[in-house]
Structure 1
Amino acid sequence: MKNHNHSHDVHDNREVFEPTHPERFAAAQKSTWVSIVINLVLTFLQIVGGFFSHSQALMADGLHSLSDLLSDVLVLFANRHGNRHADANHPYGHARVETAATLILGVFLAALGVGLLVTAALRLQHPGELHAVNPVALAVALVALIAKEGMFRYMMAVAKRVRSQMLVANAWHARSDAASSLVVVVGIGGNLLGYTFLDMVAAAVVGVMIGRMGGKLALEALSELIDTGLDAEEVAAIRKTLLDTHGVRGLHDLRTRKMADNALVDAHILVDPRISVSEGHYIAETARNAVLDKHHVLDVMVHIDPEDDMQSKHNVHLPSRPDLLVQLGECFSDVNFVDYRVVFHYLDGKVDAELYLPVNRQSQAQAAELQARCDKLVEHDPVFRSIYIHSQHAQE
């Protein structure tokens, strides 16, 4: 018995794993819009201010703010398109939309960071051509530093109020942005004190930070697009949940793959080979629901195996049910097996047959005689390993 059981609707699973809880969703949306407005203003002030004050560091930090702005827009885009329900063309949902957009953004930021770093390195080779920046650059850099630190404190307060780990992560990202602005403040300040090369050094540092962020985003997105599995600890936890399910005797071929913030799971479970198909299906559904309840998983596909696949692969060459009934009929021409309930078990490259005979149509003596003939048949038969006769009362 091998049954391929899976969800008919990948969104029938647990509400707790919906992409957003209403209050958290509203808080995330509001904080994202606040971040967009602040980064939009900072991008304009820093790039324009850096251009007119001749500060490469301030312009680089402006591009850093632009990258944050693009990231915020990506979040809104993902919330709008990535969380749509599954449809006929996208049976697993649209979460990969967010992944693809993240990959594009990551590549763009990595290229931008490398460009800033190369430009700064080339300019630093000619220190005599570096000049003092306008003091306005320092004022703009301080405004950016204060704004980003304020954004960190605001986001952290919201995250604690709604208890959202995602918003906590966003808050610390804002703090890292404040760190880049601090580097710019130091670089511009050093430039104004006569160390003109420090502005360019600060620009190079910001370029490294942007490139590092872009590379990290791109690698994570690429890892997901090539179906990278969950970490070993989470896979072990899922394995334990499946094995703890009553009726599951073993487990193999457990596979996982990430999809945005969720995961897809595929597993083969071993069950008693002589239980009914419906009981095997029940065990599979129980195991599936246990994983959905306890883990951050979008969907689980459970395959039911009566034995290890290395053994069951030999069963595919065995005759089908109609052929087996014909073979039994040829050996026992006086018994019409089509009229009786016959159960075949395909195990270890052989077939075990169970034949249920009503006693009012076949006497106990005849049943015993038929059992003896069956035992003699299986001694030399290459297909049947056993044929067992069950005598039962027939319905009148």
Structure 2
Amino acid sequence: MIENPSISVTILLACIILALGGNEVKCTRRDENASGVPWNQKVNNTIQVDVGDVYDCIDVNLQPAFSHPLLKHHKIQMEPSSLPLSISTKFPSIHAMPPTQLSLIECPTGTIPIVRNNKRVHKLAQAIDKVIRKDEQQEVAGFEYLDVLYGTRAKINIYEPKVKNNSKDLSASWIQIKGTQKVGRADGIGAGSWVYPSYSGDNLARFHVAWVDGLKNTICPDHDCGAFIQVSSSVGLGGRLKPVSIYNGPQYIIDVTIFKDPLTKNWWVSYGEQNIHIGYWPREIFHFMKDQCNYAFWGGYVQGPTASSHSPQMGSGHFASEERGKAAVIRNILVVDKENMYATPDARKARLVTTSSSKYTAKAYGDGYNDYGVHTYYGGPGAFV
């Protein structure tokens, strides 16, 4: 579901100390290509943020997507032609949660940040460790929808569920839309939080976007596979989300929108109430959702070689029945209709779904439906000890 060779040279960058949001940021000397960015793509700056993440600022027109064979003649779109419209843009203040923050990098205008990760060297032509095999295990808990849609918006409660360091499993708090032709043939795109130690090298909640190639059954996070075109010079994909929610304590959310541009047919991702445009998946890369989707999911999932047999936590690590402040929640779920308007999902075409109720559960928030969308609790301890 939700899933050439480099020439070694030495580049010396002037090292300076910058200030960014109160965090120490510095330019560093780089002696090897750990980000997977081809050396013919000029690195404008290299920036290190407070958790040790290192980002290379790459010319927006030379990012990995433009190495994709289907995008050789693609003309970059720097902003959507229009945004989904809403009769009311105000969400209820009751039980309001403050936003957690994405990693903000502030690359120079005309460049985008791409994270370096020594734990896994990017390979631009394929997904890393994310081919969905027959033995790949997955469990889900949340809210699913079977109807035509053109996007979705939701507020995702952010926790840091526990995932074993020595596993290749991940735990996600996620929104996803898919275009399904038949069983085993579905394009998909999604966004949200992953805790994925074998990918990021730590147990932190990190913001990711991902594309599912419906023909190859591969899941491509962020800039892997060269499928995602980023336009934001400040949002660091794969960066840490902070602060995160605490069980029976402060709660934090991210506000994410995925939608189809009605003019260009590209699929965009925006963040926050101000609709910060992060980037988009071009229409050319899709097989089954060039025009619309027919499935959506909001909630949590765990995936990996031992995700069912030795399941990690999901959400807060507590069952949905514990509700507000204790169970993870996705709220204000809206879909985008063919008129490019936000709408509440049709209750007749939606349902709660749980694949292993002894490990994870899902439950409607209040009556589940109101004028501000759909709300659902989800999560559980899995088999984590």
The reply to whether TM is greater than 0.5 is no
Indicate the structure (1 or 2) with the bigger Cα radius of gyration: 1
Larger helix proportion of the pair: 1
TM-score norm. by structure 1 comes to 0.20
Greater RCO, 1 or 2 (C-alpha within 8 Å, sep 6+): 2
TM-score norm. by structure 2 comes to 0.21
